[in-house]
Amino acid sequence: MCGRYSLATPASNDLRARFALGESLEIRQRFNVAPGDDVVTVTTSKEGEPRGAILRWGLVPFWAKEPKVGYKMINARAETVAEKPAFRDALKTRRCLIVADGFYEWQPRASRSRKQPFHITRSDGAPFAFAGLWAIWHGKGDETLRTCTIITTEANDRLRDIHDRMPVMLGDQAAEEAWLDHATPAPLLQELLVPLPDALTARRAVGPAVSDARHDEPDCLDDAPSEDDDQQDPSLF
């Protein structure tokens, strides 16, 4: 799964150019993005033109009776996304990029009561995009919510000892463009929903600050205490 991530990259102008986010979209440094938060994304217009958008994390389908259902739909499984009623319509025309520079996962530790958090990034440290879906929900009166979900897939070999799932990190700009393109055929879309290659994946044990979903400060990225240094390299397992 993916239940927490970061967008701590400070150069917002670089992000705007990299992802065509536009000049008016507010981009803040985020060290601990949690479900229910507003997040930076790229959606498309009806004509298929990319555009930056702020969406709430946790997809609320148009047919939902109330918005709290979104907290149960922060992720969509790549293997079933084309079949599930909550996601299959969005997969056709409402695909999006969710901009990030890392995500967190927690590894169970037999010798401790607490799980060990890891920050997982591209090996080059560059920002990237999760493959996402988005939806518009209309409530009573003028109430409107625009929401999104992150698609997950099986973990690659570099991360499997931490968790058996990982978010789909689209590998390059060509993959991002294909994911957004309304004309991309369904079989090709499915081919994009794969784990990031091991060689492009980096992981680092971090301290306990990130485990509090309400805490969104730079210390979420602090290194783990020294006794966890052996967790930096998956080859040690």
Q: CB neighbours of 235 closer than 8 A, spacing ≥ 6?
A: none
* Residue 112: per-residue pLDDT: 67
* Residue 230: per-residue pLDDT: 41
Residues designated as active site: 2, 105
Mean pLDDT of the chain: 92
Q: In the structure, what pLDDT confidence band is assigned to residue 234 with cuts at 50, 70 and 90?
A: very low
Quick: pLDDT tens for 169-214. Answer: 999 999 999 999 999 999 999 999 999 999 999 999 999 999 999 9
Is the confidence at residue 37, as pLDDT, over 80? yes
* Residue 146: per-residue pLDDT: 97
| Residue (of 9, 38, 44, 8) closest to 26 by Cα position | 38
Could you give the percent of the chain with pLDDT greater than 90? 81
- Tell me which architecture the domain covering 5-236 has in CATH: Alpha-Beta Complex (3.90)
Task: State the pTM of this model.
Answer: 0.92
